[in-house]
Amino acid sequence: MEAPNEADQQPEQQPPAQPCSNDQGSSTNPACGGAEGSSAEDTPAVASSKLHEAMEHEVIPSELAKWSEMINTDISQYMKLHPDRFHRRVRRGIPQCFRWQVWKAAAQLNECERLPQPGDYPAMCQQENAWTKLIKIDISQTFPELRSFDANWQQRLLSVLNAYAGLNPHVGYCRGMNFVAGLLLLVSDSEEESLAVLTCLMDSPRFGLSGFYREKLPLLHRYMRAGDKLVAEVVPELRKHFMKENVPPEVYLTQWFLPLFINCFPLSMVLVIWDVIICEGLPVILRIAVSMLQVLKDALLSMHFEENIKFFKKMKTYDDNDGAFNAYHIGQLLMEHTECVQIPDSTLEYLSGELGEDDGSFVFDESLEADLSGGSRLQRLRRMFTFGSTRHRSAVKPPEIASTTPPRSASPEGMSQALPLEMSSSVSDGDPASSGGQAPMI
């Protein structure tokens, strides 16, 4: 394992944070999760500026200097030469002004096959296909809490999703893809580049995300099995509590995995999570899910069925205002804690194996039991999650208990079986912890 670089250590006292300006000219705004102050009269340019402000966070000068150095020395090469140091920095969050450049490099966009040909996008995005009507329904319910994600942004998202469905009819469109494509569009502010990265993530063997959304959702079911087993091994008493309260794994694993956490937490926290997902690979979502449950274990153990369901939904409404415990900082600490969660090599082999007919359904195993393991940062993180406190923006009504069966098919006929859009309800560098079977970087 690469030893931490002394220059990469955070000093105890840091100079004041400063904005990280991006090429759209947006200034830093630590608030996230809602573009406050937008109105129906906002022009597309104003709405775009507010969305970029909502995604930014303050960056200390030393951190910004580190990322500038990595970018200027070829970020792709830096990932290969200094993977441990790169991942430590990623877990603190990538500055917004560099995020899209890093995401493209981590996804190895230049090496992806089957990308749209230059100049084809205008025709692709306008050509209707079997999924166009379904996409039109879902885009209006994508990022509803972002008031600046207006009709113009929704139309851009429609274009990206429609183009991909036409490009790869074997997958087409399935609910959940709207959040993935929407996040790519928010970060890039480019329809064509969003389509290119979406295509790479979906169709590249290195990532293989299409298995989450194609007919019968085979890879999603495989990840749910692996996630349920890992939960039973790491937090067995919590899993037993869920079984006792009739809260099956589908309730939280589907809600987190199908949209890849995007529709589950405040946007600022989602961005840190996705920095790690993009840069470490899809298996890291298991470590993220288990870390989340470790952090929330004490609170969840005290709740009954309806309270558990409400709690998972309320996580998205965490108050992300100013303060040391805002959602972005929680995301940083949570990603740091993922280093403490180990994925067995046998599980990684299972996840990377060829998908078969047995991956078309998910049945949880009630007999899974193992010893509890923990992490050194749990108590600090648990104090920071206050989803049940008065800090909520508004009270959340108890959700209707819908079927927890995920969408069965990516085809238009199968979408009638899809979940509601709410998905079943709806730092410093230190010595890296041993991560055992850590997922490889894409």
Q: How far apart are CA 267 and CA 215, in angstroms?
A: 29
Mean pLDDT of the chain: 76
Considering the chain, what percentage of its residues have pLDDT values greater than 70? 66
Q: Where are the CATH 1.10.472.80 domain residues in the chain?
A: 215-417
R_g of the chain, CA atoms, integer Å: 21
Share of the chain above pLDDT 90, in %: 50
Give me the pLDDT at residue 319, please: 58
Query: In the prediction, which pLDDT does 22 show?
Result: 42
Instruction: Give residue-wise pLDDT tens across range 392-409.
Output: 333 333 333 333 334 433
| CATH fold label, 215-417 | Cyclin A; domain 1 (1.10.472)
Q: Which two tokens stand for residue 99?
A: 């995020």
For residue 113, the model assigns a pLDDT of 82
Structure tokens belonging to residue 166: 């036409």
Calpha distance 190→114 (Å, rounded): 19
Q: Is residue 163's pLDDT more than 70?
A: yes
CA distance 356 to 73: 43
Q: How many residues does the chain have?
A: 442
59: β partners: 18
Model pTM?
Answer: 0.74
Render the burial of 61-86: b for 16+ CB within 10 Å, e for the rest. eebbebbeebbeeebeebbeebbbbb
Architecture of domain 113-210: Orthogonal Bundle (1.10)
Delimiting residues of CATH 1.10.8.270 domain(s) in the chain: 113-210
Q: What integer pLDDT is reported at residue 433 of this predicted model?
A: 36
Q: What is the DSSP code string of 103-121?
A: HHHHTTGGG-SSPPPTT-H
**Phi first, then psi: what are they for 209, rounded to 5°?**
-65, -20
**Alpha-carbon span 194 to 161, nearest angstrom:** 10
Q: Which of 126, 156, 133, 134 is nearest to 143 (CA)?
A: 156
In this structure, what are the phi and psi dihedrals at residue 188, rounded to the nearest 5 degrees? -90, -35
**What pLDDT score was predicted for residue 209?**
96
pLDDT of residue 347 exceeding 50: yes
| Residue-level pLDDT at 47 | 57
Contacts of 4 by beta carbon, 8 Å cutoff, 6+ apart? 84, 85, 88, 429, 430, 431, 432
Q: How many CA atoms lie within 13 A of 192 on its CB side?
A: 8
How far is CA 296 from its chain centroid?
18
Higher pLDDT, 55 or 149: 149
Closest among 180, 179, 164, 176 to 131, alpha carbons compared? 164
Q: What is the pLDDT of residue 305?
A: 87
pLDDT tens digits, residue range 205-231? 889 999 999 999 999 999 999 999 999
Q: What is the band of 315 on the pLDDT scale with cuts at 50, 70, 90?
A: confident
Euclidean distance between CA atoms 179 and 33, whole angstroms? 14
Say which DSSP state 206 is in: T
**pLDDT tens for residues 249-267?**
888 899 999 999 999 898 9
- Res 27 pLDDT > 80: no
- The C-alpha angle with vertex 167 and arms to 183 and 171, in degrees rounded to 5, equals 75
Please give the Cα distance from 380 to 44 (Å, whole number). 41
pLDDT, average across residues 71-93: 94
pLDDT of the residue at 310 = 85
340 DSSP 8-state letter: G
Lowest mean pLDDT among 103-117, 329-343, 410-424: 410-424
* pLDDT surpassing 60 at residue 178: yes
